[in-house]
Structure 1
Amino acid sequence: MEAGGERFHQQSPIPENSPETEVALFRIRDRDSGDNGKMTCSIQDDLPFILKPSEENFYTLVTNGALDRESKAEYNVTITVTDLGTPRLKTEHNITVLVSDVNDNAPAFTQTSYTLWVRENNSPALHIGSVSATDTDASANAQVTYSLLPPPDPLLPLASLVSINPDNGHLFALTSLDYEALRAFEFRVGATDRGSPALSSQALVRVLVADANDNAPFVLYPLQNASAPCTELVPRAAEPGYLVTKVVAVDGDAGQNAWLSYQLLKATEPGLFGVWAHNGEVRTARLLSERDAPKQRLVVLVKDNGEPPLSASVTLHVLLVDGFSQPYLPPPEAEAAAAAPADPLTVYLVVALASVSSLFLFSVLVFVAVRLCRRGGAGSAGRCLVPEGHFPGHLVDVSGTGTLSQSYQYEVCLMGGPGTNEFKF
């Protein structure tokens, strides 16, 4: 380098992560002689570069280790040349070293895991949240695309549940979610840059389905779809607070949507029974009297604590008895069913059976009458083959019971012509 003239060659930009890379090549010269023509060359001490001298006053500026563009992408280097004369003269030359990007950084998510909430019965294509990743590289090395990774559970139909926008990381639920069927699921998303080779990273996403009050209480006891309704027996001597029965119900929702309360909606005798609000126990509220109807009908309302609340009702049949040995009386519904007109088909069957039975009885009576008439005619025209005289004494039962001691066969002949029949006793 000389005052008034320069010979300088610079490479720019310099790829990062390239140790001992040549940045610039130059030559210095001083037209003085002796010590006045001798020169020193230097740069700042805080730079990651060094000067390597060679013959004929040539110098090479090289990197002193690998550069990191993400830490510093540009350097201003001042090359100072000083002679050894008196007074010392110097000259300076400034160069700018640019550091080019290398795809050495993978995308990084803003969080290692994300928790997203979605209310059940959501509309399809609903935006439920977003994930975000950044890349400290430059240009195409910093462009990030997002994707869903295969779930750890192969049975989870992830492709039908959620999708992700590859450009911005937005997540839109694809179907309406049901809290009672799927309360939570998780999956991983990937962020990949467009460098060569491409680098990527992952983040865990957990989706929690929030419950909505979409299930009414369901009564387990007493059963409401039974053919014969259940009847509870209460002795008339029962004290106030006597436990009659307990209504048992469940709710498929969760949290306050599943908190149930009970109340007596209707009763045959208001004030005779009460229902505990929190456990569904039905108890007597006062002493029973003879004036209380023996058949009591109660309607209990079961309501959840959702917004808006959902409810169900249950009908109870209570029979007041003097003692538990008293015969069971059917509920009013059973009596009404018994008093209802019979089915036409049943009526036809009964009439047919009665007709056949009457015809059979009439045929038997006619047959007996005919036989008796024939027997009467034969008695007047024929004779009986019964021996005359007394029975031998040894054939008579002497025990006084009036029976014969041996078994005998008697023959009665009805003589009346060709139609005569013979009977044996």
Structure 2
Amino acid sequence: MDFFFLVVVKRTTDQSRLNYEEQNQHKICVQFSNETELIEETFLINIQDINESPYNLQCSNHTGFCTVFDDDFNQTFKFEIKTINHYENGTYFEILCTDNGQPPLSVSTWIKVLPDNMTLMFVPVLSLIIPVNDNNNTIDKQTRDNIVISYSNDGDKTERQRRQANSPPQNIYFNILHLTIPENARDYEIANVYVTDEDNDNYVCTVHTYDAPEDSQPFDIVNGILRTSLIVQDGLYNINYEKIPVYNITVTCTDPIHQYTIRKHFTIDVIDINEPPIQLILVPDTLPENSPMDYVIGRFYASDPDLPVDNQTFEYSIAMNPNGMFRIDNDQLILKRTNDVEMCISQPDLCPHDYEQITSLLIRINIKDNGQPSVSQKFWIQIRITDENDPPVNLQLNQNFIRENSPIGTLIGSFSAEDQDLYQTHTYTLVNQSPLLNNGFLFVIEDNNLRLLQSPDYELDSFYIITVQCTDNGTPPASITSDFLIEIIDVDELPDTYIFIPNPDGIISDDIINDLMNGRQTPRTIFLPQSTYSLPSLG
């Protein structure tokens, strides 16, 4: 009889490679059939464990960590360090990792010499960090040789399964619901950052702020605390509500062992704080030296970080007012006193804003805003004194009398005046004379000299009042006007008509009286005693 066999093998795993650590037994089903019957039988195939080499040995020159993986259970490892090359620019080492399986198997890698301040640490399988110290070899620093680190798996899972079973992180959260930071904060801790992970793995977290330049990141995560960065603490970056009221950040947390990374976006609200004004200017800031009282110098303009967000208003007051010169009306600076120009030369204290004495003044202004709570700040304001043409002062005449009958052109006196403006010339003008003569002025001014234009007569007028104006050559010209009394000095004169009267007590004849009345005699008659004059013409 002919038999026909059909064998069908069913595997319970999809793996194409037999791996004792993943599955140490396989179940197969064998079917036998002929034309009349079908026989099916199940068999167990046991996988024999063999020692497998450790793999993926990696060492870092930067961190000093070495990691290695091995799929076999309950293995211990021996690490050896050997010098493989000496170069002028450094030393290289071979790091060899050997397990204790049968037969022992190894894996190796290469590394440069470590910095003196770094400790080499070996991390087998689950990245268990074990410090290694060895005093046997010294090249540039202590090297490590014949190091045996024991590590045991738990026996129920392979390391590959263990890695596959490690859960990724589920969430990033902070210990407070709303992240806030006060405006202008420097050294400030905002919140603690946490990662939700079923395996309680350790994470390294960083933060990135989208609202700030890459080289001026205002926040950092240090030891699990979200806080201001060093650039903020050093005052190189300012948390400013008026510029950025809300920061958008991304927190990234990484599991360095299992290479899991999680990111989450958050916002940090900046708490607005009323800030004092930061600048105060006066426009314009000039004061002409001879300005009158109540002259408006300029208007104050303040700069405040809270403008224009809060639409603040300001109150101004004078904290230091030199010589009590100024007052403030709303936001205007006003002059309270004027220069006494007549006294600027002799008493400078009476001219506090005289350009010839001082070219600028400093006042201190206190400005207070209406924020909550209100804050104030003081500022120095410089007021520039501008030069003006000062008028002449102290117009004087060095002599104010003249003898009667002096000839035309006689010098009476010279005028002089004082002027704060150096190197100016002055012009003197006769403006008025009282009383006036029928034929005009009695006097004339040549340069700064007062001279006779006509011969004076004491008996006609014993004094005259003249008005003189002194004008400088400034721009625009300025002048001073003063009155002067010119005294005519009487002198003895011979009489114009002589009438000899032998007896002054006698009665004057009617003929003499008629001659005087009819103008045949000079209007002035001088009575001379007989013993006073003796003129041959009168006998």
- TM-score bracket, shorter-length normalisation: 0.3 to 0.5
Using the size of structure 2 for normalisation, the TM-score is 0.39
* TM-score when normalising by structure 1: 0.47
Structure having the higher helix fraction is 1
Indicate the structure whose relative CO is greater, using CA pairs within 8 Å and at least 6 residues apart. Answer: 1
